[in-house]
Homo-oligomer: A and B are copies of this chain.
Amino acid sequence: MQHLTRDEIRQSLTACGLKATHQRIVVLEAVAELHGSHPTAEDVFQRLRPANPTISLGTVYKTLDTFTETGMLRRVVSEGGSKRYDSNTMTHSHIYCSKTKEIVDFEDKELEQLLIKFFSERQVENFEIKGFSIQLTGCKVEPDKKISITRVSK
């Protein structure tokens, strides 16, 4: 999630066996800059277009796909509409607002531990678990304010 220089991006592309093209670099930069907003291909395209007026939308689609395959990005599940991407590939969960269509990240080590323990006591047959996440669905109360999660003192 930290800022990467272009050379660092170049290196991680090569490490994944991908050619370090200008297009791939700027797509990855744009997704990183938009992190937290779970952008669509169109969002990413709009973001990098001013500085890269010749890039094509098809390339953005293809590049995001490629990055998802190599694990450099994740696809975020959503209730439909368009595909959305996340530069945070660590285990984390999402809060979905059905009113504003926002998807808010939320990370909780305690919850993660709880689930790891739970699934260690279960066996999913004929399935290789790659990851898990929780999704909370509901509605924002004040559409203009932020959503945040805090611990309640017992």
Which of B121, B122, B129, B149 is within 8 Å of A125, CB to CB? B149
A123 touches B137 (CB 8 A): no
B121 touches A139 (CB 8 A): no
Given contacts A79-B77, A118-B111, A122-B152, contact A127 B138 (CB under 8 A): yes
Identify the A interface with B (CB < 8 A).
Answer: 75, 77-80, 82-83, 95-98, 108, 110-111, 114-115, 118-142, 145-152, 154
Alpha-carbon distance between A108 and B115 when the two chains are bound, in angstroms: 13
20 A-B pairs with CB atoms under 8 Å apart are A77-B78, A80-B83, A98-B130, A120-B152, A122-B149, A123-B150, A124-B148, A125-B147, A125-B149, A126-B146, A126-B147, A127-B138, A127-B140, A128-B138, A128-B139, A129-B138, A132-B136, A133-B134, A133-B135, A134-B135
Alpha-carbon distance between A126 and B136 when the two chains are bound, in angstroms: 13
Q: Which 9 A/B pairs are nearest by Cβ-Cβ distance? A: A80-B83, A130-B138, A77-B77, A129-B138, A127-B147, A75-B79, A125-B148, A126-B145, A128-B138
Taking the full assembly, how many copies of this chain does it contain? 2
Q: Enumerate chain B residues within 8 angstroms of A131, measured Cβ to Cβ.
A: 136-138
Least Cβ distance of A94 to chain B in Å? 9
A122 touches B150 (CB 8 A): yes
Alpha-carbon distance between A152 and B123 when the two chains are bound, in angstroms: 6
A123 touches B111 (CB 8 A): no
